Structure 1
Amino acid sequence: MDSGSKLRKLIASYGDKEEFLRAAEEIIEEEELKRNNLLARDLRNMLYRPNSSINSFKSLKIPVDNERRLPLLEIKKFKKDWTDLVVTTKIRNSLESIIEENNKREILSVYGLKPKQTLLFFGPPGCGKTLTAQVLSGILGYPMVYIRFDGVISSYLGETAGNLRKIFDFIRDGRWIIFFDEFDVIGKQRDDPFEHGEMKRVVNNFLQMIDNHSSESIIICATNHQHLLDPALWRRFDDIILFDIPNKENRIKLIKRNLRSVRTTSMDYHLLADNMKGMSPADIEMVCLNAIKRNILDNKGTISMDDINKQLSNQKKRITYQKNYIKLKD
């Protein structure tokens, strides 16, 4: 029986559990004969152990911190795709390569190779690191495991490393996007004189966990303070991606994307992009969203350049306040 006939048999058997299982087994056995052992294993796991399915993750037991009983992670599902993301061509190419490698992992495995699974996203805040992780989650269909550092970091000796071990034990089965935001919290340099011995042990433990990581999940670590990271951590990542302030072309795309749901008039996107030079995607989004909200509250039909420029002025003041506060704090 050819592959087409087996698939027709599988679909036709929907509703009859026993017949469905037999048809599915025939397909799996055929993949095994083709030496697609990784694919065959995945299909069999999905068939008989569906606990890693995106539809059943809510029933999973979330690991908690022993000290305060706080959850160590959250599981989220995203339906985002490329239309939600504005990045440079270089970043887009890197992400497409990561997606292709993980979608074709069984081909790579034939040659003893693995796809890129450990990624470092770094750069200024508000430049798309979290959004990119969500887009990867949506495109690959992997639920996101968002690590909660308020639960991971413990005052008890050895407990923080233990919490990290619980997380790695949890992700051992299934395919996930594991997102460590503000990664510098646990990835600081071990020779930092201001860090105590416990955090140095945490870095050592994390290095060992990364080295021994054998699941099919993708680990993404994101930081705004890459200079704080221990040098040994950089070598553990399969790919390192810088998310920087957008250029003019991407600033125009961001403005248009954020205003796509409203009517606009007399909009000079090139001038707006020039006036938004140095702003992050998050800053540009806030300018546009504030203009939209003001437009709705004032019951206006369209958004003009003046509306955008008023909110742009407010956002620039906010950025200045923030920079001055950081200087005073330092």
Structure 2
Amino acid sequence: MATQEQIRALLESHAEGDDKRFTAVALQLAAQAARNGQSRFASELKHLVDSMRSSKNNLKTTTLDPDVQSSLGDISSYVSVSFPNAKLSELVLSEQVRGSIQRLLLEQQQRDNLKLHGLCPDSHVLLVGPPGTGKTSTARVIAGELNLPLYTVRLETVISKYMGETAAKLKAIFDFAAISRGIYFFDEVDALAVKRTAENDVGEMRRVLSSFLQFMEEEATESIILAATNNPQLLDPALFRRFDLIIEYGLPDSKGVKSLIQNRLANASFSRIAWSKICEDAFNLSPAEICLAAEDAAKDVILSGREKITTEDLSSALAHRRSIMIHYAK
């Protein structure tokens, strides 16, 4: 039931024409109703909010209003919300990864058509690959392409040492996802779903994993659940069966290295670049590391008063980035 403060906030925001605050409080009420078992009322209220957002085109924004974060209610302390406008064309990806993302977007865009034929779009997706290969960027792109909010789950605040608390927080997140369509991103999901073995048989973590698996199995919602891991070998085998789609990310090939640098330094001037050497120097570096090296090279050119980036600038920056990674990998 709505509290006096929530009713007051609804009336004040309506009188002041503050649509963002009004919808934020309305979403709080919908989430509260869902947790109280009033799923029909929660769904109706969420539909009204979505209609209001659509008519006023308030969803597409790049800044986060404090009232939007407060709309998360009880889960606001361990879930953050943003509204990315990233596009798939901005990412340098392998054809296989790009194709998988395009298929996911297409299924979501035609989800009503699929349902008419008794089919459901993929909505549970696992992103697998080394750090810096584009998994987090993919979450932003999917949210941006579908014009949906991105809810990022901060697992360090979800996981608790107290019995039952982690599972309760997970339930609150999935309850909210059931009535608030969006992209729900669980990064480093191996913290929740580590493989069950005799060596790590901790009762509470087994219960957490069981709860997570159960929530993943529940009736599909309009939301998309994204999970990412750098260490798939740590995940419990049962988790893989809960995902409709698994996308594997790898390190860039020569074509990818060149595209990454050219895209990142699109406004820079280059001298004649020996791309074969640059690709050799970038071998086994992640896209994130290559982009950082490209930025370092561009900064060196600007600070030295020169106008064009040379092969030596890029090669030196890549070598420096590699030395850093080797040093901290020890």
- With the shorter chain as reference, the TM-score category is 0.7 to 0.9
The corresponding residue for 1:312 is: 318
Instruction: Identify the residue that residue 80 of structure 1 maps to in structure 2.
Output: 86
- 1:59 and 1:204 map into 2 onto residues whose CA distance is 29
Equivalent position amino acid for 1:117 in 2: S
The whole-number CA distance in structure 2 between the counterparts of 1:151 and 1:63 is: 15
Cα displacement (A) at 1:54:
2.6
How many positions carry a matched residue from both structures? 280
Pair member with larger Rg: 1
**Superposition map of 1:192-207 within 5 A:** 193-207=199-213
Measure the CA separation in 2 of the matches of 1:90 and 1:139: 18
C-alpha change, 1:306 and 1:234, in structure 2 (3 Å) is same
Instruction: In structure 1, give the amino acid aligned to 2:298.
Output: I
**Match 1:302 to one of 308, 319, 327:** 308
Instruction: State how far apart, in whole Å, the 1-side matches of 2:53 and 2:316 are.
Output: 56
Could you tell me which of 51, 54, 66 is aligned with 1:47?
51
Match of 1:62 in 2: 72
Alignment of 1:104-123 (within 5 A): 104-123=110-129
Cα pair 1:183 1:223 within 8 Å, conserved: yes
TM-score under structure 1 length normalisation: 0.79
Between the aligned partners of 2:293 and 2:97, the Cα distance in structure 1 is 25
The answer to which of 229-238 and 188-197 deviates more is 188-197
**Equivalence for 1:250:** 256
| Distance in structure 1 (CA, Å) of the matches to 2:136 and 2:307 | 33
- In the alignment, what sits opposite 1:126? 132
Instruction: Give the CA deviation at 1:124.
Output: 0.9
2:123, 2:220 within 8 Å by CA — same for their partners in 1? no
Matches within 5 A, 1:202-221: 202-221=208-227
Report the Cα offset of residue 82 of structure 1: 2.2
Q: Which segment drifts farther, 254-263 or 93-102?
A: 254-263
Aligned partner (choices 202, 225, 230) of residue 231 of structure 2:
225
Q: Structure 1 pair 242/218, CA: closer, same or farther in 2 (3 Å)?
A: same
Report SS of the residue matched to 1:120.
Answer: strand
> Which whole-Å CA distance do the structure 2 matches of 1:166 and 1:42 have between them?
16
Aligned residue number for residue 166 of structure 1: 172
Normalised by the length of structure 2, the TM-score is 0.79
Can you give the 5+ residue segments of structure 1 that lack an aligned partner in the other structure? Answer: 1-40, 325-330
Name the Cα RMSD after superposition.
2.4
Do the aligned partners of 1:119 and 1:237 also contact (CA within 8 Å) in 2? yes
Cα offset for 1:274? Answer: 2.2
Specify the alignment match of 2:269 in structure 1: 263
Q: Deviations over 1:198-233 (max 9, x none)?
A: 111001001110111432111110000100101110
Alignment match, 1:282: 288
Inter-partner Cα distance in structure 2 for 1:119 and 1:187: 15
Residues 92 and 260 in structure 2, CA contact (< 8 A), matched pair in contact too: yes
Q: CA 1:113–1:293 in 2, change beyond 3 Å: closer, same or farther? A: same
Per-residue CA deviation, residues 162-190 of structure 1 (Å, 9 max, x unaligned), is 11111111212232111100110001112
Shift of 1:192: 5.2
Partner of 1:26: none
Amino acid aligned to 2:169 = N
Of residues 96, 121, 136, the one that matches 2:102 is: 96
SS at match of 1:171: helix
The Cα shift of 1:283 comes to: 1.2
Q: CA deviation at 1:138?
A: 0.8
Q: Helix, strand or coil for the counterpart of 1:87?
A: coil
